[in-house]
Structure 1
Amino acid sequence: MKLRELISLGGIAGIALAALVGVAPAQAHNAFVSSTPAAGSVVTEQPGTFVITTSDALLDSGPDSPTTFLQVRGPGTAQLYYGDGCATVDGASITMPVELGEAGEYSIAWGVVSADGHPITSAANGGDIAFTWQPADGQELGSGFATPPTCGEAPVGSETPAPDETEAAPVAPTDTATNAPAAETDDRSAAAAGILWIGIGLGVLVLAAIVLLVVVRSRTRSAHGDAAPDADDPPAAL
């Protein structure tokens, strides 16, 4: 194959690849940007509203969806949950009203639906957000619950049992992971989408090469036909 043909083949392949990249959908998930309260911060006044902010607009899956949630829990070993469970999507953020309880170490677990339609959680983005609650004088303390509250429903259990009830079996707090979507599902979906687009890209390149080969052969045959002597022309003199 001549150099000019090779250059043409490379040009067509490049155009096909650029077109493929242009039509392929974005696969990037939203990235965590900030939180209120911030990780590692010491909070002395009731924040009122907790906020998780990401890098792009979020999809609103509704207040009852297990893929959109914000859970605040602590302190101590038998941790309680705080807030009303009503995580609201606001652009690139989710918010929830929370009144913290006893002083100590707290953590925030969260989950959102990314702009590309995939759920993401704090577990897959550096882990839960930890902060310290040291209420100043005069701060009113909120009530904690044994299980994560559900928006619009009365929470189960509240606060630590009284001294005369300590012999009763404690209710184990629900693991945040049970309400958070598995990160493995995101990875498998992204991998499958990547394989699909790679296959499509290879198919486009092969098709472009076949078209180029047909065009080159057609031009070659045409050129040979033009070069052949006309049957009506007289033979050349010896």
Structure 2
Amino acid sequence: MKQPLRRLAVFVRFAAAALLAAAAVLVPSGAAQAHDELVSSTPADGAALKAMPSELVLNFSNVPIALGSVVRIQDSAGTDWADGSVQIVDRTATQRIKPGAPAGKYSVLWRVVSSDSHAIDGKLSFTVAGGGQAAASPEPSVGRPEPIDTATGSPAAAAPDEPAVPWSVIGMGAVLVVLGVVIAVTARRRLGNGGQG
């Protein structure tokens, strides 16, 4: 009886070590996967413009996925001046702006799907001194994304909900759980066979 138990103990130790090694290799790679981020915008966050540009441009650290992308350009009354859908070419997302936008402060709420298939969002703002549109857009400037408050009616409501934990990590966790169950069942069978012998 001692020999089968000794073999079982060695097997369980080996299986546990293999499980821990798999977790160490798989889980950090999924968790450390960085999402794309906003690198710059035109107009820049906080910019003061003489007139409204004809378009808003967002530049990202990688190529976002066009599906599910939303950009809203809202004046102080909450009117959205975005014209048509977002156009994505390489790392740049461009949103046309309707003509006739009044002077005042504008809030930009954006949401795109990162190249790793996870949604990212942010906000920025700028002010316009006069109505109408400028002939050319100003130079881009660095901006940082911030979470959008969904209570304000942000683009987050228009795009599909994303889990708090990336799907890759959830999938790897499920694989590790299944592996643990298989190891437990195998250990129980070996213990049963040892007891009969």
Same fold (TM over 0.5): yes
TM-score of the superposed pair, with normalisation by structure 2: 0.59
TM-score of the superposed pair, with normalisation by structure 1: 0.51
Counterpart amino acid of 1:121? D
Q: List gaps (5 residues or longer) in structure 1.
A: 62-66, 123-127, 143-174, 221-238
How much is the aligned-residue C-alpha RMSD, in angstroms? 4.6
**Contact 1:112–1:119 (CA<8 Å) still a contact in 2?**
yes
Higher relative contact order (CA 8 A, sep 6+): 2
Q: Which residue is 1:201 aligned to?
A: 176
Q: How far 1:105 sits from its partner (Å)?
A: 0.9
Alignment partner of 2:44: what SS? coil
Q: Which residue is 1:56 aligned to?
A: 62
Structure with the higher strand share, 1 or 2: 2
1:34 aligns with 2:34: no
**Contact 2:55–2:96 (CA<8 Å) still a contact in 1?**
yes
Check 1:69–1:184 CA distance in 2 against 1; reply closer, same or farther (3 A cut). closer
Q: List aligned pairs for 1:101-112, cutoff 5 A.
A: 101-112=101-112
The partner residue of 1:185 within 149, 158, 161 is 161
Q: List aligned pairs for 1:89-238, cutoff 5 A.
A: 89-98=88-97, 99=99, 101-122=101-122, 128-135=123-130, 141-142=132-133, 177=153, 180-181=156-157, 185-187=161-163, 190=165, 194-208=169-183
Distance 1:117 1:202 in 2: 24
Distance 1:113 1:193 in 2: 16
Q: List gaps (5 residues or longer) in structure 2.
A: 134-150
1:44 aligns with 2:50: yes
Please say which structure displays the higher CA radius of gyration: 1
- Paired residues in the alignment total 173
Check 1:23–1:81 CA distance in 2 against 1; reply closer, same or farther (3 A cut). closer
Counterpart amino acid of 1:199? A
Distance 2:178 2:80 in 1: 53
